[in-house]
Structure 1
């Protein structure tokens, strides 16, 4: 008996059906993958944006909250004997001063508007903060005649050229250290030396005008406190990555005995615009009655302007944040109101470049702790 050996395969129609079904399944898998990837990119971009905004607000809030801090009771007897009293040392006049980006009037400590990394962003606000440092030293003996303090304890961290604040229950003075001796635990505040130097060795109020060598006598007794002066400026600048704008900070440093604002530090990027308004109250213990821009606090004279800034009891920060990636289906053409300032993709006023990145507004209100005379 013969055996028949037959082989049978798929027909062309069966192969075409199989290929079609495979393509349909593959298309579904690809769509699921792309959808999951897009969801992941969206969630990651939003998470990074929230993280950046939280860091920026925390950095600003921490220094804003302590503007004007000093370790003693505040009084009206305030003497700054540092020559010239530059903006970065104007502790008594205005330890908090804002700058309105809409008019572009900034002092020389801020960089100019530009397109390179670190250059200031047009239309964004800025702020200067001055405060006493957190680490204080107690006075043991103050010899006003020889302009020398001896401090309690076995050491201190002051060096020549440091700007410090000394205070007791009645007076406060700002001075530059002309000689810091770690071995003897002393600091000297003579005039006629250092940069910018002290105009007088007398630390009493008022400071004579014109200043004299001995000035107004004042001896700080045992237990008086000495702290370093810390000064910061915050502004919005072009990011080094070129991807978005960044929050920058400059701080007061001692450069070989000369106080100066150091190099700009890039803190966090992803900020389209920074807007700040200031809460004004009739006295330091009342809540803010209205919020105004920095321009609205500028008076006809320097004294009037400083008095207006002394009435600020809170600060409202507004950030227009932008995602690092283009995750939207279409270009963003919205108008955003950031604490009273409209920012649009086109037209008059503040603008941003329309793209497919998403934008979000984050705000925070900071209560100032060190307002007025107590």
Structure 2
């Protein structure tokens, strides 16, 4: 009996091979596209979340700028309404900004005590010598305020405190018994500086210096991927506590920093350029970004970026009464 079973011909094998090749190529393309979409979605989510966290941290802090407990709104004058008890005249690792009275604590100087000050690194004439590695052409901002709520037992030796009434303030370190101030309340005193620097891996990050018993020698690493910061200062020129114009730090005058003669800064607009922490070789960034009045040219690298911003209305716009 004749055997009728036969295998594939050479032509059939070649056709099957070509079809398999196309199927494999299609599957590879779908897998590659899926991987790209996952990377894109992940990085965009990371940009949004890092930007949100950075703005939230700064907004919660800066919105209370100038809060000085019961004496809020009155200039702190050492020897008149303010006393320093056990506080060294020159704080170790202090960050002293521009102006006659712009150290961590008010000095015995006939000048307004600055609770707000800033500059653009590498552009402004003045800077803070205490900072290291600040990225060029990024803004730096320092603020001073009390941390609420008031405390019953100000005894943390690593902190500084202020006892306040409506017309008197005593600044002291949390060692030993706190000073007695009739009808006064105790608050933690804080000096913060926000700036941008690269970490050990070369990733830019938002950092903050925080006052402790050792001065401002520590850097808190807050959020990775914050590549640039621009701050626009809201100026009130008609006394209604609302910003009539916004200006870059270079245009802020001495009177505005001191809130003297009703030259008041009442709000801030903060712009952050957020960068992904890892490159994506399938993406080339040719986008130009705008941060307030500043333009960041396209880098043509493989990092995704996003601009986030917020407007912070200062809770205490009238920082100095007279």
Is TM-score (shorter-chain normalized) higher than 0.5? yes
RMSD of the TM alignment (CA)? 2.7
Give the one of 165, 172, 176 matched to 1:168: 165
Moved more, 322-331 or 41-50: 322-331
Other structure's SS at 2:31 match: helix
Give the one of 108, 114, 127 matched to 1:94: 114
Other structure's SS at 2:237 match: coil
Q: In the alignment, is residue 240 of structure 1 matched against residue 200 of structure 2?
A: yes
Does the 8 Å contact 1:179/1:188 carry over to 2?
Answer: no
Moved more, 92-101 or 9-18: 92-101
1:360 maps to: 306
User: Which 5+ residue runs of structure 2 have no aligned equivalent?
Assistant: 91-100
Report the CA distance shift for 1:43/1:292 in structure 2 as closer, same or farther (over 3 A).
same
**Aligned partners of 1:366, 1:10: CA distance in 2, in Å?**
76
Give the one of 46, 66, 69 matched to 2:67: 69
Superposed, 1:198-213 pairs within 5 Å as: none
Give the one of 297, 306, 318 matched to 2:271: 318
Post-superposition offset of 1:334: 3.4
TM-score, with structure 1 as normaliser: 0.71
Report the CA distance shift for 1:110/1:273 in structure 2 as closer, same or farther (over 3 A).
same
1:272 maps to: 227
Post-superposition offset of 1:103: 2.4
Does the 8 Å contact 1:280/1:290 carry over to 2?
Answer: yes
1:228 maps to: 188
Aligned length: 296
**Aligned partners of 2:188, 2:263: CA distance in 1, in Å?**
22
2:96 maps to: none
Moved more, 305-314 or 267-276: 305-314
Q: In the alignment, is residue 251 of structure 1 matched against residue 210 of structure 2?
A: yes
User: Which 5+ residue runs of structure 1 have no aligned equivalent?
Assistant: 112-118, 138-154, 182-186, 190-219, 346-352
Post-superposition offset of 1:104: 6.1
Report the CA distance shift for 1:90/1:43 in structure 2 as closer, same or farther (over 3 A).
farther
Give the one of 41, 49, 58 matched to 1:51: 49
2:148 maps to: 134
Report the CA distance shift for 1:338/1:73 in structure 2 as closer, same or farther (over 3 A).
same
Does the 8 Å contact 2:71/2:165 carry over to 1?
Answer: yes
Report the CA distance shift for 1:283/1:371 in structure 2 as closer, same or farther (over 3 A).
farther
TM-score, with structure 2 as normaliser: 0.82
**Aligned partners of 1:104, 1:22: CA distance in 2, in Å?**
68
Other structure's SS at 1:87 match: coil
Post-superposition offset of 1:267: 1.0
